[in-house]
Every structure is written in C-alpha cells, then in structure tokens.
Amino acid sequence: MYRLNSNLTTKHMYIPMSSPDLNEVDRQAVMDVLRTSELSQGDKTVAFEQAFQKLTAAKHAIAVSSGTAGLHLCVRAAGIHTGDLVITTPFSFVASSNVLLYENAIPVFVDIDKDTGNLDPALMEEAIHDLIQGGKKVQRWIPRKGAEHKRDLKALLPVDVFGQPADYEVIQAMAKAHELTIIEDSCEALGSTYKHKPAGTFGELGVFAFYPNKQITTGEGGVIITSRDDLADYIRALRNQGRSPGDTWLQHTHLGYNYRIDEMSAALGAAQMQRLDELVSNRQKVAAWYTERLSQTARVRSPFVSPETTRMSWFVYVVQLDPAIDRDALARNLEAHGVPVRPYFLPIHLQPYMVERFGYREGDYPVTEEIGRCGLALPFSGIMTELQVDYVCSVIREELKDSH
Ligand SMILES: *Cc1c(COP(=O)(O)O)cnc(C)c1O
C-alpha cells in the first residue's frame, strides 16, 4: 500500500504520457487521399520518401509499414544469416535485437556508456578485436547458450537511443577497418545531428520510425535510407512481396513481405515532414523547461546531451533517479496525481524470451541494468505546455520531499 502525499498543494491535472502534434493541414492531407482511389503505392509514398532524401542527402529513401519492418529489411539486405554475429546494444527498444532473431542471427550485446546510454565505444572496440582474433576471448562476448552454430562477426547495429546519436567516429572507423556493415537504428532520432550530420546517415543503412510518440508520426510507418543502389533495389523488392523490377503482380523473384506503407499514412508523413523543424524545436523547448525546473531537484538527474550531439530531437525525456529512491512507489504516486511515467528501458537481455534462448542473467550488462533500474520517462511531447511541465515537476518535488 502507498499513500498519496497529503502535503501536495498543487491543483490536480492529468498529463498524457505522449501526444502526436497534428494540425489541420496534416488532417486535410489524409482526407485528400480518401477522395482518390490511390490508397497504396502512389504519389504520397513517393513524396514522403523524397522528404527523407532531401533531409539526409541519401540517394534512396524507402517507406515501409513500421520501423521494425524497416530494420528487418536492412538485416536481410545486409546478408545477415543464421549464426552471423552482430554487435548491438541491450539498452534499446526490443525491435533492434528482434530483427536479428527473425533471421536466426546472434546479437552480441556490448554494454553502454552510462551518460549517453549508447554503446560504449571502448568496449565495442574490445569486442570487435576479440571476436575477430577468435580463440578463447570470443567466449566473453557470445551468449551462454543458443550460439552453438555461431559464425563470424558481420555487422554493427548501433541505436541512437532517446534521440542521441551513438559515437559514430569510433563505430565508422571500426566498421571500415574490419569490413563490417553498419545498420543505424535511428528510429528514435529523426531530426538529430551528430557533428552537424543528420542521424540515420552513419551506416550503409539507416532506419526511422513513426509510431505516434515519435518526432513525426504516420500512425504506423518507417523509412529506410541508403545510398547503395543494390541495397535499395533489393529492399524495394522485399517490401513488395519480393517483386523485382520487371516482375508482374504474380511473379516474385525473392521471398518477400508486405511491408508497404499506405497512402494515407504517407500523406500524413509528408505533411509532418514539412514541419519537422518546428516539431523538433517544440520538443527542444519542452525538454529545456524540464531541465531548468529539475536542476533544483538533486536526486533527479536530467538527460546528458553530448557535445557531439549538435542537435537533439528528443524522442523521450528520461531522468535518472538517485538509486535510493523507490522508483516503483514513486511511479505509482505520480500516476495517482495524473502524471504517467514509465521505467526506461527494461534491458533486452533480461526479457523472458531472451533469457530462455540465450541464457542471460542479471549482472551480464551492469551499466545497462543500472541505468535501466534508475531511468524514468516523464510525460513528454512537443505540445506540452509550460504549465503542464510545471505541474509534473512540482508533483515530483513534493513526492520526493518525504521519501527516503
Ligand atoms: C520505435 C523504435 C523502433 C521501431 O518501432 P515501430 O513501432 O516498429 O515503428 C525500433 N527501434 C527503436 C529503438 C525504437 O525506439
């Protein structure tokens, strides 16, 4: 049992965990599609893809039905097969690892930097060296079980966590030295930049996602970017039931999927992309309100933004609590005051199906586990008002006043 803090003086409000930022132009764009009969594979998809070519200067942008579908196609396009090893992070949304499991590849988890939450570059270098040298040192990196048919290290799959790009200077140098493909999971980082270059552009393949809590939304959707013609052709075919250019509707060169986006979603996405700068600066404004107000609260640490992150597009606002704070009790009390919060992330290696398949245990990735134990996502969107941020921060302050 817990009790509401009876000292709470602030007037009660209800704050949503996240909200899409939609305007009348966005809504009209969807309605306009519904007045045509072109509901799939039409001009809106092309326009949406062009917005990504323009943003990233990538040669190809390929819109798909979700970020997860996009990552899965990247894994296929990179030629990742059964037993191939791929270095990735256990501190992410599960999709970044799941797409490897879909192809029976083996994720090699590397622990994270405690400040950014991204792959620790020094540890990643160690992992790459050990895996390439072979021998006994390999055992340190591969799972206890489920890796009996392991093959060689094939690719790196970094995640730009919470909107902050990973350390690409190191990642790109390692990839180049060892001929590894980089698949950048930029599903949380649309609009961010690393050393003034857009997130999503640091590998052969990059992926964005548009679930309603992301920087832009299409309801469900994703985009893959690449500058490699061969990968783009193959991905376009796989997206469309394996049809290569020249195939008819019932000819399928490859084993493919229906990972197409529909025209209503693409139209919404194209309209949202026209406002990307505005959407990102709204998120930056809300994040700055939080950071300013929370700077007074010693036991709550605001997110760290690395100097290399030259623009942060803020997917979520995740604070680190003092480990002495009972996070679950705090979360219940905040929710009771109309402030929903979420623990972020439950580490991927400790999800039940991962434990069962690979035999992971608590303690395997200590930084991920610690950051995951103390991380709390606060309500966040680009349309939050200053009053709402004030309310959330004052409820947090008052709740922490008499907790130990
Ligand atoms: C949102 C997200 C995805 C993709 O999600 P979908 O819901 O499939 O669009 C992938 N990776 C990360 C890290 C994400 O946050």
> Over 90: is that where the pLDDT of 395 sits?
yes
Ligand 1 atom at minimum distance from 210 CA: 9
The owner of tokens 């942008």 is 61
How close is the Cα of 187 to the center of ligand 1, in Å? 5
Do 263 and 152 lie in one domain? The reply is: yes
Strands (E), 127-204: 153-157, 181-185, 193-194, 197-198
Q: Which pLDDT tens digit goes with each residue over 306-351?
A: 999 999 999 999 999 999 999 999 999 999 999 999 999 899 999 9
The mean pLDDT value for 37-61 works out to: 98
Last residue of a domain, one of 253, 273, 293: 273
Q: Classify residue 198 by its DSSP letter.
A: E
- Cα–Cα–Cα angle for 103, 269, 203, rounded to 5 degrees: 45
Q: What is the CATH number of the domain that holds 205?
A: 3.40.640.10
pTM of the model: 0.96
Structural domain for 44, as ranges: 24-273
Q: Looking at residue 173, what is its pLDDT? A: 98
Q: What residue ranges line ligand 1, CB within 6 angstroms?
A: 66-68, 92-93, 95-96, 159, 185, 187-188, 209, 211, 222
How close is the Cα of 208 to the center of ligand 1, in Å? 8
The mean pLDDT value for 124-131 works out to: 97
How close is the Cα of 213 to the center of ligand 1, in Å? 10
The answer to the question of residue 375 being in a domain is yes
How close is the Cα of 211 to the center of ligand 1, in Å? 8
> Under DSSP, is residue 215 helix (H, G, I), strand (E, B) or coil?
coil
Do 39 and 176 lie in one domain? The reply is: yes
Cβ atoms of residues 16 and 392 within 8 Å: no
How close is the Cα of 99 to the center of ligand 1, in Å? 11
The answer to the question of residue 13 being in a domain is no
Identify the helix (H) or strand (E) that includes residue 131. Answer: helix 121-133
How close is the Cα of 402 to the center of ligand 1, in Å? 37
Q: Looking at residue 1, what is its pLDDT? A: 38
Cβ atoms of residues 89 and 96 within 8 Å: yes
Which tokens sit at 224?
A: 């893959």
The answer to the question of residue 47 being in a domain is yes
Cβ atoms of residues 203 and 181 within 8 Å: yes
Q: Which pLDDT tens digit goes with each residue over 210-251?
A: 999 999 999 999 999 999 999 999 999 999 999 999 999 999
Cβ atoms of residues 318 and 294 within 8 Å: no
Backbone angles phi, psi at 354, to 5 degrees: -75, -40
Do 68 and 146 lie in one domain? The reply is: yes
Do 267 and 299 lie in one domain? The reply is: no
Q: Which pLDDT tens digit goes with each residue over 249-277?
A: 999 999 999 999 999 999 999 999 999 99
How close is the Cα of 249 to the center of ligand 1, in Å? 30
Ligand 1 atom at minimum distance from 68 CA: 8
Average pLDDT, the chain: 96
Q: Which pLDDT tens digit goes with each residue over 22-47?
A: 999 999 999 999 999 999 999 999 99
**Cβ-based neighbour number of residue 221 at 10 Å:** 27
Ligand 1 atom at minimum distance from 92 CA: 13
> Over 60: is that where the pLDDT of 85 sits?
yes
Last residue of a domain, one of 205, 239, 273: 273
Ligand 1 site-directed mutation target among 187, 207, 216, most atoms within 8 Å of CB: 187
The answer to the question of residue 295 being in a domain is yes
Q: Which pLDDT tens digit goes with each residue over 180-209?
A: 999 999 999 999 999 999 999 999 999 999
Q: Looking at residue 2, what is its pLDDT? A: 45
Q: Which pLDDT tens digit goes with each residue over 132-150?
A: 998 899 999 999 999 999 9
Helices (H), 223-365: 229-239, 263-274, 276-294, 327-336, 352-358
Which residue has the CA at smallest separation from atom 6 of ligand 1?
67
Q: Could you tell me the CA-to-CA distances from 194 to 163, 166, 201 in Å, in that order? A: 11, 8, 10
pLDDT category of residue 403 using cuts at 50, 70 and 90:
low
> Over 80: is that where the pLDDT of 6 sits?
no
Which residue has the CA at smallest separation from atom 2 of ligand 1?
187
Cβ atoms of residues 388 and 285 within 8 Å: no
The owner of tokens 């606060």 is 378
Q: How many domains does the chain have?
A: 2
Do 269 and 282 lie in one domain? The reply is: no
326-362 per-residue burial string, b: 16 or more CB within 10 A, e: under 16? ebeebbebbebbebbbbbbbebbbbbeebeeebebee
The answer to the question of residue 9 being in a domain is no
Do 247 and 323 lie in one domain? The reply is: no
Do 258 and 332 lie in one domain? The reply is: no
Ligand 1 atom at minimum distance from 220 CA: 9
Do 201 and 324 lie in one domain? The reply is: no
Do 325 and 345 lie in one domain? The reply is: yes
Do 83 and 172 lie in one domain? The reply is: yes
d(CA 82, CA 90): 20
- For residue 402, give the amino acid letter: D
**Residue among 175, 213, 177, 215 nearest 199 (CA):** 215
The answer to the question of residue 98 being in a domain is yes
d(CA 160, CA 222): 15
Cis? peptide before 345, omega within 30° of 0:
yes
pLDDT category of residue 12 using cuts at 50, 70 and 90:
confident
The mean pLDDT value for 96-117 works out to: 98
How close is the Cα of 320 to the center of ligand 1, in Å? 22
Q: Looking at residue 402, what is its pLDDT? A: 61
Last residue of a domain, one of 273, 293, 314: 273
Ligand 1 atom at minimum distance from 213 CA: 1
Q: What is the CATH number of the domain that holds 371?
A: 3.90.1150.10
First to last CA, the chain: 16
Do 363 and 224 lie in one domain? The reply is: no
